[in-house]
Amino acid sequence: MLSNGQMRLPLGLRSGATLGDFCPEPNTAALNAVRSLLVRPAPVFGLYLHGPGGVGKSHLLQGAAQNDAGWIPYIECAEMMQSFVDLALPETFSSLVDAPLLCLDNVDAWAGQIDQEKFLYDIYNERFHRARPLLLAGREAPQQLVWALPDWASRFSACVPMALQLSDDLQRLHILQTMAQRRGLRMDRDVAQYVLRHQSRDMAVLESLLDMLDARSWEQQRQLTIPFIRHCLDREASL
């Protein structure tokens, strides 16, 4: 435990994921809803973001966790299956209850797990009494989730659901160029189109790709051209 009573948790935060660098289209409403949870008092208590991989759910949760509103824990539920017992410790539970906002990503991974659902139920109740909001995310829409614990299913149904949409090709092109620009990289349209044609369009994958290209560009003092990117990708594939 830290000196201020906060717990060290395997948060898995990416330093580059901030609300400021989240490209809003077509999910401006979701971005605004997340920002509203950082205002006291928040207009809603619970918000559940859902949608397929690559729409930006984790980016929004991690961005909320890394703003300046105080210590905000981010927990990747799917990665906590084996170490869930650590969350149930009294000191950890108390720390999570008191945080100004709690972000639980991939919470649908806990559906059907009695101990985890009991934890969610208790967290919900304690934070509700303290008017401290919850930000949840998962791939499944609320009506597709089958919770084992009726009490938690009832609490979960009170959270406001918000579906995130995948960007179209033009929006992804703009997002990719914006992500590069924020790293100080110039990515011409033809280069961005090449990347989108030959790489996964998942935003998290593209973030990692740009981190690699940023490092290689700095090391070799090269601009982002199609031959340079092809060389970098071939080098990564050979490692």
Among the listed ranges 1-15, 61-75, 171-185, which one has the minimum average pLDDT value? 1-15
Mean of all residue pLDDT scores within the chain: 87
pTM over 0.85: no
- Kindly report the number of other CB atoms within 10 A of residue 174's CB atom: 15
**For residues 106 and 12, is the Cβ–Cβ distance under 8 A?**
no
| Cα-to-chain-centroid distance, residue 114 | 24
Give the pLDDT confidence of 12-27 residue by residue, as tens digits.
Answer: 566 567 888 787 888 9
- Kindly report the number of other CB atoms within 10 A of residue 5's CB atom: 11
Q: What is the dihedral of CA 207, 208, 209, 212, to 10 degrees?
A: 120
Give the pLDDT confidence of 189-227 residue by residue, as tens digits.
Answer: 899 989 988 887 777 788 889 999 999 999 999 999 999
Compute the distance between CA of residue 103 and CA of residue 167 in angstroms, rounded to an integer: 23
Question: Which has the closest alpha carbon to 233: 197, 189, 188, 181?
Answer: 197
The reported pLDDT for the residue numbered 8 is 45
Structural domains in the chain, CATH included, are 28-163 (3.40.50.300), 169-238 (1.10.8)
Give the pLDDT confidence of 129-170 residue by residue, as tens digits.
Answer: 999 999 999 999 999 999 999 999 999 999 999 999 877 777
Give the pLDDT confidence of 41-88 residue by residue, as tens digits.
Answer: 999 999 999 998 878 899 999 999 988 767 899 999 988 877 788 888
Handedness of CA 107, 110, 112, 118 (dihedral sign): negative
